[in-house]
Amino acid sequence: MQYTIPYHKPFSFRNAEVGRIAENPWGYPSAPETIFQASFVENFGLLIQLSTFEKNPKKEFKSPGDPVWKDSCLEFFANFAPKKSNLYLNFEMGAGGGILIGVGEGRENRRPITDFHPYPLPQVTVRDDMWETLLLIPKELIEAVYGKIDWKPGYAFRGNFYKCLEKENGRHFVCWNPVVAEKPDFHRPEFFGDLVLG
């Protein structure tokens, strides 16, 4: 799949299409409707918003570096420079406000983002019938990992968006771009989709 990310000077999701995190390769029946939008803000970075229509989300973890995948979790993985690097970043955000970010080429031996840049903090909103997270990924964070990037319309990178809940009651794992794997596994960069600044 491909998603076009509008390129803005102000902070805005104007003209940003709504992407659907609806691929359910492992067949869990209880996945809530989940959507995302993304916008690149000139001189600042990538602004992402993920929203899920999930009531009473599990929300135990509240701090940077916490194991937020154990909560109700919204995630974005991306390789921001696929022509020169196999590194990708995982941005995992829980309903309690916790966030986990790592850097590496696969599931194992991931480095914490703090080796490169301080944690950005998500803004999490929980309502009666849904919750969402808003995160600005600073371009300085991205370039601390990959080096200088020429951010302009037409620049392309790769990534995927996910929603998961590991607890047995309501367990689910869904994604934006399809993943082919025997069991749930989001650390599969070979199944990232195309993300293009427009």
pLDDT tens figures, 67-91: 999 999 999 999 999 999 999 999 9
- What is the pLDDT, as a whole number, of residue 167? 80
pLDDT band at 22 (very low <50, low <70, confident <90, very high): very high
Q: Has residue 191 got a pLDDT over 80? A: yes
CB 103 within 8 A of CB 115: yes
Question: If you write DSSP's letter for every residue of the chain in order, what string do you get?
Answer: -EEEE-EESSS--TT---EE--B-TT--TTPPPEEEEEEEETTTEEEEEEEE--SS------SBTS-GGGSSEEEEEEES-TTT---EEEEEEETTS-EEEEEESSSSSPEEGGGTSPPP--EEEE-SS-EEEEEEEEHHHHHHHH-----STT-EEEEEEEEEE-SSTT-EEEESS----SS-----GGG-EEEEE-
pLDDT band at 34 (very low <50, low <70, confident <90, very high): very high
**Of the candidate ranges 9-13, 55-59, 146-150, 162-166, the one whose mean pLDDT is the lowest:** 9-13
Domains of the chain: 2-197 (2.60.40.1190)
Q: What is the pTM of this model?
A: 0.96
Contacts of 180 (CB under 8 A, 6+ apart): 25, 188, 191
- Give per-residue pLDDT as tens, 43-70: 999 999 999 999 999 999 999 999 999 9
**What proportion of the chain, given as a percentage, has pLDDT over 70?**
100
| Mean pLDDT within 184-195 | 98
Mode of pairing for the β-strands spanning 193-197 and 2-5: parallel
| Mean pLDDT within 140-152 | 97
